[in-house]
Amino acid sequence: MAMARTDYSMEIRGEDIARAKASEVDISPKHAFEIARFIRRMKTDDAIEYLTKVAALEKAIPLRCYHKKVPHRRGLTKWHTGRYPQKAAKVYIRLLNAAKKNAEYIGLDSANTRIVHVQANRGRRHAAFFPRAMGRATPKNRETVNIEVIVKEVI
């Protein structure tokens, strides 16, 4: 199956820029949006460390937009509601590690990179069926997400 070739939404130029992109990832769009909002402008290593703790259910991601009927979580600062989106956190960890490797490949110091742009968009929906009792099935849509990350070396 061929995926569409799309460009980055942000035109950032320079020799101190590294990029990474994931297309049509099978994660929750709401979790992807909230993680993107949370890790923007963080140092890459700090973001990977925090998301590793999220995947281990030790720290929560604050939900600022999709927080209806979401309970409070311990350890959050400046916000009270949150969740532990493990699947989405693992995808972001893989993507941030790819951006670090791309930075190393072009000769940047990957330990001193900062996330300058991260964006998550809804991808294609795949038709699927949810099996029910007595041989019936309910149609449903599998949602996907397109994520892009741009990191910059800070001195």
Q: What is the pLDDT of residues 68-105, one digit of tens each?
A: 999 999 889 889 999 999 999 999 999 999 999 999 99
3 state DSSP class of 8: coil
CB of 150 closer than 8 Å to CB of 106: no
3 state DSSP class of 110: helix
Gyration radius of the chain over CA positions: 17
Q: What is the pLDDT of residues 114-149, one digit of tens each?
A: 999 999 999 999 999 999 999 999 999 999 999 999
User: Where are the chain's structural domains?
Assistant: 17-153
**Lookup result for tokens 């990029």:** 19
Task: Determine which helix (DSSP H) or strand (DSSP E) holds 22, and give its type and residue range.
Answer: strand 17-25
- pLDDT more than 90, % of the chain: 86
CATH superfamily of 17-153: Ribosomal protein L22/L17 (3.90.470.10)
Average pLDDT over residues 3-24: 84
pTM over 0.85: yes
